[in-house]
Structure 1
Amino acid sequence: MNELNFTSENQKLKVVIPNIVLDEIHILCTSSYPNETGGILVGFYNEQYNSAIISKLIPPPSDSKSGPTWFIRGINGVKKKLDQLWYNEKEYYIGEWHYHPGSSSNLSNQDIKQMSEISNNDNYKCPEPILLIVGGEYKNWEYSTYVFPKNNKLIHLDVLNELC
């Protein structure tokens, strides 16, 4: 299997994360341990706009800050990188990812607050941002994925398949 698939309970929303993107996330998580880390999910939607395909990620910008139980994603170089991705590949900001080292991938109240602010901030141009949380550690990864529709309740997506 070369991707991880998530879907909503009613199967109207899907997120696809290729193994190559997860490998990059795992490298960043392992190298940041025991601190949290994170970054930006980049990709596109299918023609029906019901599946987000995560094609790549932007690692933590240089001005990001973190500790064992917290992460603040910086902004250095993000706009330029996102503009380049749109211009060159027609790919764009899909959401955020971060790591809970040695812990569960469940979201926190801070995660909910941050993602709700993003969905309601027109500067992001993303009314339904996705949040991928990676928990655990090397060879024992755990994943949770959520969608945050603008002015609506968050949607938890279930794993459709596990990576081999």
Structure 2
Amino acid sequence: MIVKKYKNLQLYVECTLIELMANLAIYHYPNDNGGFLLGYYSDNLTKLYIKDFLLIDKYDSSPVGFKRELNLKVHNFEKIFRETGLYYIGEWHSHPNATAWYSLTDLQAMDSIASCNTVQLHNPILLILSMSSNKLLDFNFFLFDEGRLAVYE
């Protein structure tokens, strides 16, 4: 279990989930790959549990970019919530041969998600995986908070 913290919010994720995403990113190497993060918050909103992820089926990808289809409704998050209790909490993507740090494009994407009326998620999570051709090099979780991406420590 990986535990990260930002302010008074703790993030929990199983190592196996990170490994699954890393394996998918390696499969798509040298292009970026990504998807949606699913999870839930504790009742007092101090703990965030990332429990699953979805791949995106409609996207454009290159070694330096990943642009997904903008329509979140295609993935039927309401149905996923009814069946599993998990909901959309953010996004993940890989950075082949690059750091696990966000770009200006990543920041703008998180700002768009936070300001989208249909999403209603003011503090989305972003996971970036730094990849080589055959292994995960590093990863970072970020929380969009007050117009910026803050790293979980």
Q: Does 1:107 align with 2:105?
A: no
* Preserved CA contact (<8 Å) 2:26 2:135: no
Percent of aligned pairs with the same residue?
24
Give the corresponding residue for 1:162.
none
Alpha-carbon displacement from aligned partner over 1:58-96 (angstroms, at most 9, x marks no partner) = 0122x1110000001225785444222111111100000
More moved, 132-141 vs 112-121: 132-141
**In structure 2, what residue type is equivalent to 1:71?**
F
* Preserved CA contact (<8 Å) 1:64 1:75: no
Gaps of 5+ in 1: 159-164
* Preserved CA contact (<8 Å) 2:129 2:136: no
Give the corresponding residue for 1:144.
140
Q: Does 1:132 align with 2:111?
A: no
Gaps of 5+ in 2: none
Q: How does 1:2-151 map to 2 (within 5 A)?
A: 3-8=1-6, 10=7, 12-61=8-57, 63-74=58-69, 79-137=74-132, 138-149=134-145, 151=146
**In structure 1, what residue type is equivalent to 2:25?**
C
* Cα distance, 1:113 vs structure 2: 0.6
More moved, 139-148 vs 113-122: 139-148
Alpha-carbon displacement from aligned partner over 1:31-70 (angstroms, at most 9, x marks no partner) = 1100001100001011221221111000122x11100000
Counterpart secondary structure, 2:98? coil
* Cα distance, 1:6 vs structure 2: 1.4
TM-score, normalised via structure 1 length? 0.84
RMSD value over aligned CA atoms? Answer: 1.8
* Preserved CA contact (<8 Å) 2:123 2:144: yes
